Amino acid sequence: MKFFSDSRNHVDKTLLYTALFLLTGGILILSSASMVLSQKNFDNAAYHTIRQFLLGGLFGVFLMYICSRINYRFWKKTAILWVLFSFALLAALFLPGVGLSFGGATRWISLGFFSFQPSEILKLAFIIYLASWLDARRQQVRSVSYGLMPFSIMIGVVGVFLVMQPDFGTLGIIILTSGAIYLLGGGKLSQIFTLTFLVLALVILLIQISPYRLARVNVFLNPELDPQGAGYHVNQASIAIGSGGFLGLGFGKSLQKYNYLPEPMGDSIFAIFAEEMGFLGTLILLGIFSFLFWRGFYIAKRAPDAFASLLAGGISIGIAVQVVINIAAISGLLPLTGVPLPFVSYGGTSLAITLASIGILLNISRHTD
């Protein structure tokens, strides 16, 4: 196996241009959504935009280029190492002086001059490992003993690490993405239904023993409940989305980002975008995300082997699931989860890993028919 793919084999330029377009658009959207907080906290309206561009954008494009050159078979051979590396990083969160806590959650590793989220690395590492695992067990995956039970144990191990943080948004993304990959790899739908029932039972238990999660569910079921407390976030998001109308208030003219809507440059950034760009702008953004997902599946369908197909499909599904959960939650269709919007929300780790994932897709495209 060659470590680098032949550069004479061209990547899928349609996917590349779509990703770069989303990257550019995401930086612009963030520049508007973050300007108030940047000015307030750092006396520089462009602070968060510059930081996102340098630590997430430029570094992410570098990772995308490297991953587009690395032969995709390399990830199959090293899959277990990446998962173990991710687990080691997650365990390091709880070492004194290493893990960084914010808002009651310990999700960041601090290295002094910058911090990053190990769970973002885990998302990609687990997709790689699951694609490799399913490719090696294509004849056994429909078995309960050799398919469903090992798969459930893997999900359980990941769940323990993420519940300890806690990070239920990431856990939900991994469970949904993994279930879809499991079906693509030959798993039976009845097995997924069984696992779903067990996961739902566990989720209900965790909600019952956690006051803040129970409050989020109650607000989801009754948005008018406690409008100045637990329901404040979702109500302000609804105001932002509704204020946009069809054409929006105009770029940079959001009112909700002025200390009304919490996390305007994080998981709430879609509401700010909808307020400024309106229904038409949101349709265009959703259309671009849908096109990216379709292009990823187009590459998966034409992939040269089962591992490449599962890997490309898993990466595409993972991005799509994250987009759907973020937009559905901030629109009131799901309880709030704190999941970032790919390419758009502030967070250098999320952006860099997303671009690295696109790079792997681009390399697989070099080997398609």
**DSSP string of 177-194, one letter each residue:** HHHHHHHHTT--HHHHHH
CA quadruple 236, 22, 117, 100: dihedral, nearest 10: -50
Q: What is the pLDDT of residues 252-305, one digit of tens each?
A: 999 999 988 888 998 899 999 999 999 999 999 999 999 999 999 999 999 999
Tokens of 36: 């108030």
CB 92 within 8 Å of CB 99:
yes
State the average pLDDT over residues 131-145.
Answer: 82
How confident is the model over 222-242, as a mean pLDDT? 73
**Before 264, cis peptide (omega within 30)?**
no
Name the average pLDDT for the chain: 88
- pLDDT band at residue 104 under the 50/70/90 scheme: low
**For residues 193 and 123, which has the higher predicted lDDT (pLDDT)?**
123
Mean pLDDT of 24-51: 94
What distance in Å separates the CA atoms of residue 345 and residue 34, rounded to the nearest whole number?
10
Among 144-153, 155-164, 169-178, name the one with the lowest average pLDDT.
Answer: 144-153
pLDDT given at position 334? 83
Report the pLDDT averaged over residues 105-133: 88
pLDDT at 116: 85
The per-residue pLDDT for range 53-101, each reduced to its tens digit, is: 998 999 999 999 999 999 999 999 999 999 999 999 999 888 877 877 7
CA 321, 323, 329, 331 dihedral sign is negative
141 strand-pairing partners: none
* Amino acid 21: pLDDT: 97
Domain ranges of the chain: 13-366
Structure tokens of 91?
A: 């365990």
pLDDT of residue 290: 97
Helix-, strand-, coil-residue percentages of the chain, each rounded to 5: 65, 5, 30
Pairwise pLDDT comparison (311 vs 107), residue with the higher score:
311
Residue 193 pLDDT:
81
What is residue 95's predicted lDDT score, i.e. its pLDDT?
82
Cβ neighbours of 7 (radius 10 Å): 10
Classify 225 in phi/psi space as left (phi over 0), alpha (psi -120 to 50) or beta. beta
The answer on pLDDT for 139 being more than 60 is yes
Residues 23-42 have a mean pLDDT of 94
* Structure-model confidence comparison of residues 2 and 29, the more confident one: 29
- Phi/psi for 116 (5° steps) reads -150, 160
